[in-house]
């Protein structure tokens, strides 16, 4: 595929695991699972599901911009959470960013994420 653009955030995990932050293939953009980390790799919003979700969506927004898109282009979000009983915290932040966009959305409880301080990880698909 010649029209494939790989986008990196520069974190060490991309090299260790062998993945890209995002891949744009034609008019589609796929974002890997994104967590609530700042530009230095520090977790933002420890034990705060709302704050982590906000940080994640801001990280997603930056990656989309690199691929020539915005949140308006998002057609699907997948939220992986470690405690589904906190769904309202994640959902409130998701709604604040996506209320008028209304992508398809899934929220699934998982046993754990790569760091126990992480409460949520979000994958995104976008279409230009």
What digits encode the pLDDT tens for the residues 111-121?
A: 999 999 999 99
Distance CA 83, CA 13 (A): 24
pLDDT score recorded for residue 9:
83
Q: Does residue 1 have a pLDDT over 60?
A: no
**Has residue 74 got a pLDDT over 90?**
yes
pTM of the model: 0.94
| pLDDT classification of 11: cutoffs 50, 70, 90 | confident
CA dihedral sign of residues 24, 25, 28, 30: negative
What's the whole-number average pLDDT of the chain? 95
Which residue has better confidence, 44 or 15? 44
Q: Which fold would CATH assign to domain 4-127?
A: 60s Ribosomal Protein L30; Chain: A; (3.30.1330)
CA distance 68 to 41: 24
Do residues 77 and 94 touch, judged by C-beta distance below 8 A?
A: yes
Cα gap 7→102, rounded to integer Å: 25
What pLDDT was estimated at residue 112? Answer: 97
């Amino acid at each position: 595929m010649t029209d494939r653009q790989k986008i990196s955030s520069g974190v060490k995990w991309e090299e260790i695991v062998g993945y890209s932050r995002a891949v744009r293939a034609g008019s589609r953009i796929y974002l890997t699972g994104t967590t609530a980390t700042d530009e230095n790799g520090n977790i933002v919003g420890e034990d705060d599901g709302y704050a982590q979700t906000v940080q994640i969506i801001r990280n997603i927004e930056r990656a989309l911009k690199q691929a020539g898109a915005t949140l308006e282009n998002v057609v699907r979000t997948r939220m992986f959470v470690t405690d589904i009983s906190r769904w309202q915290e994640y959902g409130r932040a998701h709604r604040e960013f996506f209320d008028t966009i209304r992508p398809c959305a899934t929220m699934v409880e998982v046993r754990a994420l790569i760091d126990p301080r992480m409460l949520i990880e979000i994958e995104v698909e976008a279409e230009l």
